[in-house]
Structure 1
Amino acid sequence: MAPPPAPSPPVYVNPCVPSPCGLNAQCQDIGGSPSCSCLANYMGIPPNCRPECSINSECPSNKACMKEKCRDPCPGSCGAGAQCSVINHTPVCVCPSGYTGDPFTNCYLKPVIANEPVETDRCSPSPCGTNAQCTDGTCTCLPEYQGDPYSGCRPECVLSTDCDRSKACIRNKCMDPCPNTCGQGARCDVVNHIPICSCPEGTSGNAFVECRAVPPPVVTQPCNPSPCGPNSQCREINGQAVCSCVPGFLGSPPACRPECVVSSECAQNEACSNQKCRNPCPGTCGVGARCEVVNHNPICSCPVRYTGDPFVRCQPIRKNPLTADIPLVQKNPCQPSPCGPNAQCQVSGDSPSCSCLPEYQGSPPNCRPQCVSNSECASHLACIKQKCQDPCPGSCGVGAECRVVSHTPNCICPSGFQGDPFIHCTIQVADDQIRPTPCSPSPCGPNAICREQNGAGSCTCLSDYTGNPYEGCRPECVLNTDCPSNRACIRNKCQDPCPGTCGQNADCQVVNHLPSCTCHPGYMGDPFRYCSIKLQEEPNIAQEDPCKPNPCGSNSICREVNGQAVCSCQPNYIGSPPGCRPECVVSSECPQNRACISQKCTDPCPGTCGLNARCEVINHSPICTCSSGFTGDPFARCFQIPSM
């Protein structure tokens, strides 16, 4: 009698292929069952893993949403010697007392002029703030600056969050980051200030270099053609295509992208160099000079008691002992020059007249070359010899094509050619097994984690969550009323809403969960923006004006009616005097489906999610998910699920 046939070995089926965990999550095979967890830097529970933030209003008022993280926007935002404070997510730069200049570039000591003849000039001393000019006592902002000229003008933007979501802050201007960012044949879409490059349907390749038509498949293989998208690698495991991003790229397929393509994607004290966020200072300034990074750009200056061209060399200031005691018959106002480095001084009517040297730009004493780092040039140019120039000539090999992507020349061989495009192009002649645990399937409720303990599953709430882990855990708060009266519910935590909410020289007090701002005693202005010292007015004995001084408080209007002061709030402010305030300063003041953006309760969805994704506002935060029949990263782009 023949022996029975040997049983065939069981066929291993990976429960993580395809992954049931959703986007931004990782799957592990535990005892034949999938175990899901969110990727690093993502929060929530699968399949609803999301970044820490996608808009500013999801962060505390003294933080800004930068690269999907709540960070301090001050480093690198202000100029040398300036002070920075964060007000409603925006860095505000001011020069300290006794200093003057552009706080976004450089603050320097106010010059002390002795024995100056007294003249009646309405512009001396100037009543204007920084970056403003005075004409017969009237202040106006300098070109390309905006704001209140009497308190201070600022550039169009300092952070990308100052711009519409379809633009990025590039060289203090809200601009479209797409031009010259993506490769040949690629399409560019701006999602939440960031350019997203992708190959159109029917093409493939590195979207940051070149997209080419997909050749017809010769052999049916799961990785040929690759379903993983650009900048990714495909591995065949048990007949399934497993996708991952190539080293040096971030995200998850099919939305793998480099660390940066424009400087606005980096921290303010870094610049995008060769698709990496790096410190632009090393090797930029001259010998003995100091370097500070302001808004992605390296700013060079000579230290105190040093002089010279900070882009070449700084040397100590030496006094001439031979001329120290010689009385001057007529002092030359240009000796020593008050104009600063890279500037020339001319005498005009016994007064110095300063102008920048040729090939330098700006205004004295802040004359500087056209560029010192790539981030100061347009994306299709590079900083070569302190000039913004095309980096392509001489970069590529014979027969290669050159295209500039994010200041960097990219060389490729044309279609039908092969070889090293930087030299010459010629014509083309198994997984470790994990033992099963009692946590699969998990006996825990939502927002709880399971750990094996004495052969059984033990449930505990996730960090920052409370409740019964076997039924479900909840965050510390969802509404303001879940918190004490001196706290507000911000990002599901009971926090002090004051930091970063009020302007300079203002006090903050929490009243019924809401921050209330008032100017310091002796100061006046908008406490949500800036308070300045009150000017003492001479008493008018002949006729008393009930509106002088204004009894109505800040952000209010006073009108005289029958000799009485009648108070009302300014347009776009709510409440009643003296408690007029903006519509909102924190998102908890808005309905649950709105977020506080620029002191207005606004729908945070427009421009937040990627292509083919839908947006739903939950607890002031935009939640992005792929539409039915689509898959991908909803914060970048969703792709249609191919039919099997």
Structure 2
Amino acid sequence: ECSQGIDNCGGNATCINTVGKYNCTCNVGYTGDPFKQCIDINECQPSASPCAEKAVCEDTVGNYSCKCEPGYQGDGYNSCVDFDECANTTNNECVQKATCINTVGSYNCECGEGYSGAGDILCEDINECLLPDTCSTPPATKCVNLPGTYRCDCADGFALDNKGVCVDVDECAITDICIENAICSNTVGSYSCNCDSGFEGNPSLSCDDIDECLLDQANCDKNAECTNLIGDFICSCKTGYEENPTTRVCEDYDECIIDDIKCHDNSACVNTLGSYECRCDQGFVSASNATCKGYICFDVNSLNALCFNEIGNYTCTCNTGYTGDGNVSCFIKMSSSLKKSWDLRLLEKILTFFYVYCITFVYFFFQCADIDECVKQMDDCDVSANEQCLNVDGGWECGCRPGFNRNSEDICEDIDECAEGTDQCGMDCANTIGSFQCSCRDGYKMSDSGTCTDIDECKDGLSDCDVYANCSNTPGSFECNCVNGFHGDGKQCLDINECANTTNPPCPLNGQCKNTPGLYACDCLDGYQKDGNLCSNINECIRNPCHFEALCVDTDGSYTCTCKIGFTGDGKTCTGLSVIFLYSNTNINECIGGTSECVENADCINTVGSHKCTCKDGYSGDGKVACTNVNKCSTGAAQCQTNSACVNTAPGYTCVCDAGYTGVMEKSTTVSTDIDECSNGDADCDTNSRCQNTVGNFICACNPGYTGDGKQQCQAKDLCGTGAHNCSEGTICKNT
């Protein structure tokens, strides 16, 4: 029946002929009623898998096959043992600078010492200089990063001595580093420039000469003249004065003695304040040719006396028959026989009776008393010409009032006590008609004792120094100097914005400067901590913030958590992938399911069978390892206006007006960010490779199972030919 086909066996059943009949039996791998229909047996039921441990059972029509899971090798039916992918570099995807570490069923690529990242994609150099305690020997060491390592050098402003110790460098002694008219002051590890004495301005731009004479800051003596010099001034005594080396006061110079002035005949040299005069000797008067001539008798025969000219003088002699001194009176000579017949008519030749000396005539017992013509206003002195009456015995004289002196023209003229030095002020002297007044110079005040004492404007609150300036009293004046952290002339002090100093920033790398009036403060950015004067990266991986099945990668100021191969999650939570998931062709949207490898500040882009991570605007990185803030202030990408400072923010930057300025900050709306060639299609990677974006570039890496440069080509690996397969003995290997 079987051979003739007249049996009635069902599908997937075999007819077996017997004597006189036949029998139907289900084929191997099938079960059921062989006379009706044999259905396929699913040998791969999880409860009774015929395959070895770590093998995947695949049901086939009427049969099944066993294949070892990825990472294992064997026949799949009897055993599956771990496959050491690290034994041959062709069996793993570890990149350069990464070490392959075999695990049960898989392997890990760990970046070598001094490098970090995903070892199967990219190992980046670790900047050890950002780690705490690196080159921490105080106070003068700095760290120099090298590929995979680092080196400790002396910090800027320090140099190694012959003992190998970093010592301070005196920049002021090495080179003329400051501008003209500025002096250099060495500090520990640096230096400062300040305008020299006699100059003012911004020592980083220009130092200009101070005209102390024009600003009345020289405080020269009243008898001295001020001459401005470049960076200084001199006080020179006026003509006719010389400086006292002890008191530094300009005192009158006695030309008569020191210069031995020779005046004309019949005159003598008389010293005056700042000069001298040639005055006629007594008995001589000034002539029109600046010479001195003797007195001349105008009335040679007056009042019974004769005048005789002499050299520098004259004499008066009573006429014959008269007696007396000839100057005041001449009396007629009398004899005793004239006692009773004294003729009073003899007195008619005398101008007046009041010029006669009082003579006691014993015979007549007669006595004469002097008349005070000044009191009785009998004089003829001209008050309007500054004359005053002076009573003398038997007459009067017209002299000059106090404060006046009769000149060579017989006129009473004002005496300049200030010019002649007879004022005895010891301060500023002002001449007045007939007198003088003493007053104190600016910056001085009159004391109760009548002397001028210095006014302490600082103590008395009379200075106009700025609130941020120190007041220093000086003789006759004061000085205003801005305190540290401010600059200006002392009358106006403006805050120095230390944070705006981009040439020599006050805060360390990864530090944020905050300006305050007269000071500034440095705070470390997020992800960094203070380490002396540095801001060092916090190695968050030390405290194991990731899942135990995730790889923690420390980055500058942050860290990333990436689930290991065979696990999915955000790195904080990782769950194992099922065998079905591993071998399923169904696309999974990792961006929605939370299984992406994208870090903070990165955008996730789903692709078929995978996903891409792209750093957001204002950040740079690969999107999977790290996305760090782009500091546009330090890179020069910021476009702040003059008189403003750039303050880094995440992401972007802001412009802040310097102290003393106000306005609306404007900056370019164009921001330079990294181009993600992987996401915009500019990357020319092979179809069998994956694209990894980097700052300013990208990397093409062949997919697992392929080999090549990732860019020009990625060819399937000949696992069968290289013996890198896990086929069991007795089976045939076919590349797929």
TM-score, structure 2 length as denominator? 0.24
Q: Which protein shows a greater Rg?
A: 2
Structure with more helix by fraction: 2
Higher relative contact order (CA 8 A, sep 6+): 1
